[in-house]
Chain A
Amino acid sequence: MAAGHDNEMGTKGSTLEHYLKSPTLLILVFVVLGILVARIMGMSTLDTIMTVMYFMGIALSLNIIMGFAGYVSFGHAVFLGLGGYAYVLMVYFIKPLADLQNTGYGLGAFLVAVLAGLFAAAVAASVGAAVLRLRGAFFAIATIGLDFTALYLFKAVVPELNPEQFFGAQIILPADRIVEKDLVFNAMFLTLVILLAVNYYIRKSPFGVGLTAIKEDEDAAEVLGVPTTMYKIVAFTLAGFFTGMVGALFSLNGGGVDETLFNLGHSIDMIVMIVIGGLGTVLGPVIGSLIYFELYDLLLVHYPGVNLIILGVIVAIVVLFFPEGLIGLLRKYRVRGVRLRDVLE
Chain B
Amino acid sequence: MRRYGVSKYVTGLVFLIIGLLVGAGIAMSSPGKTVTKTVTQSSVVTVTKTITPAAQTTTKTSKPSGFAGTIYIGTTISLKGKFAHEGEYALNGFKVAIKWLNDVHGGIKVGDKVYKVELKYYDDESSSQRVPELYSKLITEDKVNFLLAPYSSGLTKAAAPVAEQNKIVMVSHGGASDSIFKQGYKYIVQTLSPASTYLRSVVDLIAEKDPNAKVALIYENAAFAATVAQGAKDEIQKKGLKLVYEKPYEKGATEFGSIINEAMAAGADVLLGGGHFADGTALVQQAWQLGWKLKGIGIIVAPALAEFKQQLKDAANGVMYPAQWAIGVKYSPEAAKKLGIEWFGPTNEEYLELYKQVSGGGTPDYHAAEATAAVLHLAKAIEVAGSLDSDAVRAAFNKVDIMTFFGRLKIDPATGLQVGHQMVVVQWQSGEKKIVYPPEAAQASPIYPAENWYKR
Does chain A touch chain B in the assembled complex, meaning CB atoms less than 8 Å apart? Answer: yes
Chain A interface (Cβ < 8 Å from any Cβ of B): 5, 8-9, 12, 17, 19-23, 26-35, 37-38, 41, 43-52, 55, 155, 159, 164-165, 167-168, 170, 172-176, 178, 180-181, 253-256, 258, 260-261, 286-287, 290, 293-294, 296-298, 300-301, 304-305, 335-338, 340, 342-344
Nearest-neighbour CB distance to chain B for A125, whole angstroms, equals 28
Scoring B19, B165, B251 by chain A CB atoms within 10 A of each residue's CB, the highest score goes to: B19
Which one of B28-36, B329-337, B380-388, B407-415 is at the A interface? B28-36
On chain A, the residues within 8 Å of B223 by CB distance are 167-168, 170
- A34 in contact with B16 (CB, 8 Å): no
Interface centre among B54, B80, B129 (most CB of A within 10 A): B129
Closest residue of B by beta carbon distance from A164? B179
Residues of A within 8 A of B22 (CB): 27, 30-31, 34, 286-287, 290
Complex CA–CA separation, A55 to B9 (angstroms): 32
Contact in complex: B4, A342 (CB < 8 Å): yes
Q: Pick the contact of B8: A26, A51, A343 (CB < 8 A).
A: A343
| 19 intermolecular pairs with C-beta atoms under 8 Å apart | A23-B16, A34-B24, A43-B30, A44-B29, A45-B31, A51-B50, A167-B227, A170-B157, A174-B184, A255-B158, A287-B22, A293-B29, A293-B49, A298-B47, A300-B53, A305-B80, A335-B7, A335-B10, A338-B8
Which chain A residue shows the least CB distance to B185?
A175
- Across the interface, do B154 and A170 meet the contact criterion of CB distance under 8 Å? yes
- B88 → A minimal CB distance (Å): 15
Name the residue of chain B whose CB is nearest to the CB of A12.
B1
Q: Which among B30, B184, B224 has the greatest number of chain A C-beta atoms within 10 A?
A: B30
Across chains A and B, which 8 residue pairs bring their CB atoms closest together, nearest first? A34-B23, A255-B161, A27-B19, A167-B223, A30-B23, A20-B12, A34-B26, A38-B27
Known A176-B184, A337-B7: A296·B49 in contact at CB below 8 Å? yes
Taking A31-B19, A167-B227 as given, write out 19 further A-B residue pairs in contact, using a Cβ cutoff of 8 Å, ordered by the A residue number. A20-B12, A21-B9, A27-B15, A27-B19, A31-B22, A43-B27, A44-B31, A50-B133, A165-B179, A168-B221, A172-B180, A172-B183, A173-B161, A175-B183, A175-B185, A254-B128, A256-B161, A258-B154, A261-B129
Q: Is the beta-carbon distance between A23 and B19 smaller than 8 angstroms?
A: yes
What's the least CB distance linking A11 to chain B, in Å? 10
A298 to B177, alpha carbons, bound, how many Å? Answer: 36
Number of interface residues of B (CB under 8 A): 70
CB-nearest residue of chain B relative to A294? B29
Partner of B129, one of A33, A260, A287: A260
Q: Are A30 and B19 in contact (CB under 8 A)?
A: yes
Q: Separation in Å of the B9 CB from the closest CB of chain A?
A: 5
Closest residue of chain B to A340, judged by CB? Answer: B11
How far apart sit A173 and B47, CA to CA, in the bound complex (Å)? 30
Contacts of B224 in A (CB 8 A): 167
Say whether B14 faces chain A, with CB atoms less than 8 Å apart: yes
CB-contact partner of B52 in A48, A256, A294, A300, under 8 A: A300
Q: Is the interface of A mostly helix, strand, loop or mixed?
A: helix
Nearest chain B CB to A321 CB, angstrom units: 23
Chain B min CB distance to A124 (Å)? 23
Q: Is B51 located at the chain interface by the 8 A CB criterion?
A: yes
- Find B165's partner among A34, A49, A180 (CB 8 Å cutoff): A180
Cα(A300)–Cα(B49), bound, Å: 8
In Å, the complex CA distance between A124 and B9 comes to: 42
Instruction: Determine the distance from Cα of A124 to Cα of B106 in the docked complex, in whole angstroms.
Output: 62
By the criterion CB–CB under 8 Å, are A255 and B162 in contact? yes
Q: With both chains docked as a complex, state the minimum distance between the C-beta of B315 and any C-beta of chain A, in angstroms.
A: 29
Give B212-255 as 1s and 0s: 1 = Cβ < 8 Å from A's Cβ atoms: 00000000011110110000000000000000000000110000
> Which of chain B's residues have a CB closer than 8 A to the CB of A170?
128, 154, 157, 223
- Are B19 and A178 in contact (CB-based, < 8 A)? no
A260 neighbours in B (Cβ, 8 Å): 127-129
- For B222, list chain A residues within 8 Å (CB): 167-168
Which residues on the A side are within 8 Å of B13 (C-beta)?
A: 20
User: Which residues from chain B contact A173 at a C-beta distance below 8 Å?
Assistant: 161, 183
Closest to A53 in B: B26
A32 vs B23: C-alpha distance in the bound complex, in angstroms? Answer: 7
- In contact, B15 and A343 (Cβ under 8 angstroms): yes
Asked if A46 and B140 make an inter-chain contact with CB atoms under 8 angstroms apart, the answer reads yes
Query: Please, which residue of chain A has its CB at the minimum distance from the CB of B14?
Result: A335
Q: Does B85 contact A (CB under 8 A)?
A: no
The complex places the Cα of A27 from the Cα of B154 at a distance, in Å, of 41
Within 8 A of A (CB), among B179-228: 179-180, 182-186, 221-224, 226-227
Give the complex CA separation of A8 and B2 in angstroms: 12
Say which residue of B11, B30, B49, B250 sits within 8 Å of A343 (CB atoms).
B11
> CA–CA, A258 to B221, complex, Å?
13
**Do B11 and A335 touch (CB < 8 A)?**
yes
User: What's the Cα separation between A290 and B51 when bound, in Å?
Assistant: 16
CA distance A26 to B12 in the complex (A): 10
Which chain B residues border A287 with CB–CB below 8 Å? Answer: 22
Partner of A178, one of B14, B51, B165, B250: B165
Q: Which residues of A contact B300 (CB under 8 A)?
A: none
When the two chains form their complex, are residues A48 and B221 in contact, meaning their CB atoms are under 8 A apart? no
- The residue from A37, A256, A294, A336 contacting B11, defined by CB atoms under 8 A apart: A336
In chain B, positions 33-63 with a C-beta closer than 8 Å to chain A are 45-54
Could you tell me the distance between the alpha carbons of A180 and B167 in the complex, rounded to whole angstroms?
12
Would you call A47 and B137 a contact (CB within 8 A)?
A: yes
Residues of A within 8 A of B179 (CB): 164-165, 167
